Structure 1
Amino acid sequence: MEKYAVVICGGGSTYTPDMLELLCFAQKDFPLRKVVIYDSNEERQRKIGEYGKILFRDYYEDVEFSYTSDKEEAFRDIDFAFVQIRAGGINLRSSDEKIPYRYNCIGQETCGAGGLSYGIRSVPEMIQLITDIRAFSPDSWIINYSNPAAIVAEATKRVFPNDRKIINICDMPTQIMDSYLPLVNKKRSDVEPRYAGLNHYGWFTGLIDKKTGVDVLPEILDICVNETDTVKKQLNEMYIGDKHWGSTFQEHLNMILDYPYSLPNTYCLYYLYPDTCYSHYNEDFTRSDEVISGRGSNVEKYCDSIIKLGKMKETEFDLGIHINNNGNDVSNVTSSTIAYNDVHAPYLIELAISIINNSHDICLVMVENNGIVPNLDHGMMLEIACRIGKYGVEPLHVGEVLTFEKGLLENQYASEKLLVDAIFEENYQKLLQAFTINRIVVDTDRAKNMIDDFIKVNGDYWPNFK
């Protein structure tokens, strides 16, 4: 039986414990010989690395586990690189979110001005990371989760145009499926999605039952429209422990009621309801503060507790029951860590399993349009349904999108394309255009003011735009 070597880039991420645990859950389907976590700042990942040693010793002892900040040690002889880096760390994410609020604008890490700022930092780091991985493992699969994924995908397609083993994905559509499929007594593994748009800016157009071939999306939308109170209650129960996502999905349901012909991505809220989204936070407290005090703190305490015990088996953190009951369906596994993220890691592992088994499962992946949606820009990096196997990504034809979606997507792609042009050319004019055309920014003076502030806080993370 072939066994695989995996590196997780961004080892200090609060999502890493979930991912490490799921690799233990999935050992029947995704057999491993080596797992490495890598972070450019070894101290940032040390605690998670020490936790990982205990985890693999207790539950997957024949796997070689390590953590490092050395590129060759991390990237040599690996089969899969799972990438979840955050260029500039949580502090610059905080600036991305807070600066726009100074100018009466939404501050969000992937949408609007904050997303553009983050993209400027992410593009050079992603290109360097892929170059480093290719230097030591030229044939490995690189599966990128790093945000802002649409901007990263636009940049990497230009620098690595013929590399079919670079795959950009996002877990948000997965969370949406997991939230609404229970309305028709289905789970994600029961359906094949149909979806079209940009990353964080798309719409489900179908959810096809694998057994019957029936599209269950119309039934879901009908339930949302005609049994709204029941759906609200179910969403409340699903997210009872998470205030952010609980309120997000209540607003998401309202968006469905306004546009009841498809199932939108939750991030469409930022573009279609900017006034409501603006009211969620302020310069003194944004989503990054919520994450630091919530998931970040909880994951740190979780790792500290296990490191102090020196073991997980026969403790309150014992994962044995989850591993033994795994079966063969990773999508049924619920992460048991204090992070409580049930889609981030499973979706990534499901995609890797589809590759190694050449099973051609349908996943949502970012690919260049090239006629997939004929009435959208040919070069647009679409997030759409693709079959995944050993050859790579084979996109499904979508057909034309409606005028409303076309207008929104072309506007957003123009912003993202101009931003990547600006990064590669160090061109201030295109930078200003990218910010100004963005639907959340819209004003030239506001764009100039925010850019000035971003230049000050980002320092060497940004090019010297001229």
Structure 2
Amino acid sequence: MKKFILTIAGAGSTYTPGIVKSLLLNKEQFKLEELRLYDIDGERQGKVAVIVKKVVEEFDPEVKVTLTTEPEEAFKDVDFVFAQMRVGGYKMRELDEKIPLKYDVVGQETCGPGGMAYGLRTIFPMIELIDLVEKYAKRTHWIVNYSNPAAIVAEAVKRLRPRARIMNICDMPVGTMRNIAAILGCSREDLTVEYFGLNHYGWFTKIMVKGEDRTAEVREHARKHGLLLEDMSKIDVQHSEPSWVKTYGNIKYMVDMFPEYIPNPYMQYYLLPDHIVAHMNKERTRANEVMEGREKKIFDAVDKFNTTGEMDLSAFYVGVHGQFIVEVAMSLVFDLRKRFLVIVENNGAVKNLPDDAMVEIPAYITSNGPEAIRVGEIPTFYKGLIEQQLACEKLVVDAALENSYEKALQAFTMNRTVRSAFQAKQILDDLIEANKAYWPELK
């Protein structure tokens, strides 16, 4: 059996133990020779690695585990890199969320001004990562990228490193599919969906279960309950948290007004921004919820282990985030041609969107990368929304590449979460001050 060397870049993430467990649960098909953990924050990575090592010890002790902050050691001769960098950490995420909220604008890590701020921090570090992997890894390597905001990152990579061996993915659609499957009483693997949009900006148009169209059932449920079940903790512990319950619940308003398709949950930020802001706590955002919840739970488990030698592996869980990235990697390496929702260059797949748009649509994942499935033409309402968001994302990348304050202001003004150019300028100027250590200089 072929064995693989795999590096997780951004291994200080609290998602890392779940990803590692997902990898090791598939050891009979996708056997690791070595797992490398790479992060520029060695201290944080070291804490997370305590749990990772216990997971490896329990599920596949044959795997060599290497911790490093050195790129050559991280990427030398690797087969796969799973990228999940968070530039600026949760400290900057909190500012991404709270600065827009000062002006009664959506505060969210990947959508609205917060997402654009995060994008401006991430573009060049992602390009640097691609170059390092290209320099040291095997020629057949693949980067499977979770780093957010995926739409802006994918647009920048397409322009700056068009030949990069990278798959840009997001677990939001597959997480939504998990909820849909629970509503329909089937497994996620039984679903085949049709979908179009941009990352965090799309719609499910058809939902099939083993060839049977069950879209109407999902639509009816969504109009009454959103994509919630009575007890969300039964399908996903993380997504039973209050902010996620609101997110999945808000789908009912969008489906009631626009019943044709089932929206990506994050469409709430663009279609219901006033409602979202009215129900957000400006002093305690999702960043605080994560830091006080998932992050604290993991680091408390590490502290307990260091003190007592006892490890509580229930401090993390394996959700669709970890499962999905492993499923994509396996389809890449074994040419499984499995169908997933991924981010690809349009090239006519959505007939009435620009060919160079980085769209999120179904594709077959092969050893040569994704083969997009054609969607055809989309209705005017959705086309117009997507084109506005696409222009916004392109302007963010323009601003980074051209060091252009004007392009950044245009991007912030164009975003549907922002009501006026005055408001856009206030938020942009505050974010420039907060991101001095991270953003390219905007002139």
The TM-score range, normalised by the shorter chain, is: over 0.9
Aligned to 2:215: 217
Q: 1:238 to 1:31 in 2, by over 3 A?
A: closer
Aligned to 1:327: none
Where 1:195 maps in the other structure, the secondary structure is: strand
Give how far 1:234 is off: 5.5
TM alignment of 1:72-91, pairs within 5 A: 72-91=72-91
Alpha-carbon contact 1:98-1:282 (below 8 Å) kept: no
Q: Distance in 2 between matches of 1:105 and 1:228?
A: 26
Moved more, 169-178 or 453-462: 453-462
Where 1:12 maps in the other structure, the secondary structure is: coil
Where 1:161 maps in the other structure, the secondary structure is: coil
Aligned to 1:62: 62
Superimposed CA distance per residue, residues 446-466 of structure 1 (whole angstroms, 9 cap, x where no aligned partner): 111111111111113111111
Alpha-carbon contact 1:51-1:306 (below 8 Å) kept: no
* 1:377 corresponds to 2:361: no
Aligned to 2:369: 392
* 1:368 corresponds to 2:345: yes
**Percent identity for Structure 1 against Structure 2:** 41
Q: Distance in 1 between matches of 2:236 and 2:69?
A: 36
Task: State the TM-score, normalizing by the size of structure 2.
Answer: 0.94
Give how far 1:192 is off: 2.2
Aligned to 2:303: 304
* 1:156 corresponds to 2:157: yes
Alpha-carbon contact 2:180-2:227 (below 8 Å) kept: no
* 1:144 corresponds to 2:121: no
Alpha-carbon contact 2:226-2:248 (below 8 Å) kept: no
Give how far 1:17 is off: 1.3
Alpha-carbon contact 2:24-2:56 (below 8 Å) kept: yes
Q: Distance in 2 between matches of 1:228 and 1:88?
A: 36
Q: Distance in 2 between matches of 1:19 and 1:229?
A: 28
Q: Distance in 2 between matches of 1:86 and 1:287?
A: 15
TM alignment of 1:129-278, pairs within 5 A: 129-137=129-137, 138-163=139-164, 165-210=165-210, 213-225=211-223, 228=225, 233=230, 235=232, 238=235, 241-278=240-277
Superimposed CA distance per residue, residues 338-367 of structure 1 (whole angstroms, 9 cap, x where no aligned partner): 234511100001111112221100011111
Aligned to 2:384: 407
Where does structure 2 lack aligned partners over 5 or more consecutive residues? none
Moved more, 391-400 or 243-252: 243-252
Letter in 1 for 2:213: D
Give how far 1:97 is off: 0.7
Q: 1:308 to 1:55 in 2, by over 3 A?
A: farther
Where 1:462 maps in the other structure, the secondary structure is: coil
* 1:356 corresponds to 2:333: yes
Give how far 1:408 is off: 0.8
Q: Distance in 2 between matches of 1:360 and 1:462?
A: 38
Give how far 1:169 is off: 0.4
* 1:26 corresponds to 2:26: yes
Q: Aligned pair count?
A: 440
Letter in 2 for 1:220: V
Letter in 2 for 1:55: V
Alpha-carbon contact 1:17-1:48 (below 8 Å) kept: yes
Letter in 2 for 1:18: G
Alpha-carbon contact 1:367-1:382 (below 8 Å) kept: yes
Q: 1:232 to 1:16 in 2, by over 3 A?
A: closer
Where 2:162 maps in the other structure, the secondary structure is: coil
Q: 1:432 aligns with which of 403, 406, 409?
A: 409
State the superposition RMSD in angstroms: 2.0
Letter in 2 for 1:263: I
* 1:122 corresponds to 2:119: no
Q: Distance in 2 between matches of 1:235 and 1:56?
A: 29
Q: Distance in 1 between matches of 2:384 and 2:47?
A: 46
Superimposed CA distance per residue, residues 290-317 of structure 1 (whole angstroms, 9 cap, x where no aligned partner): 11111111111233334445466xxx64
Where 1:365 maps in the other structure, the secondary structure is: strand
Where 1:378 maps in the other structure, the secondary structure is: coil
Superimposed CA distance per residue, residues 356-412 of structure 1 (whole angstroms, 9 cap, x where no aligned partner): 221100011111111111111221110010000111100000011111111111000
Q: Distance in 1 between matches of 2:328 and 2:227?
A: 33
Aligned to 2:92: 92
* 1:461 corresponds to 2:438: yes
Q: Distance in 1 between matches of 2:233 and 2:4?
A: 40
Moved more, 300-309 or 140-149: 300-309
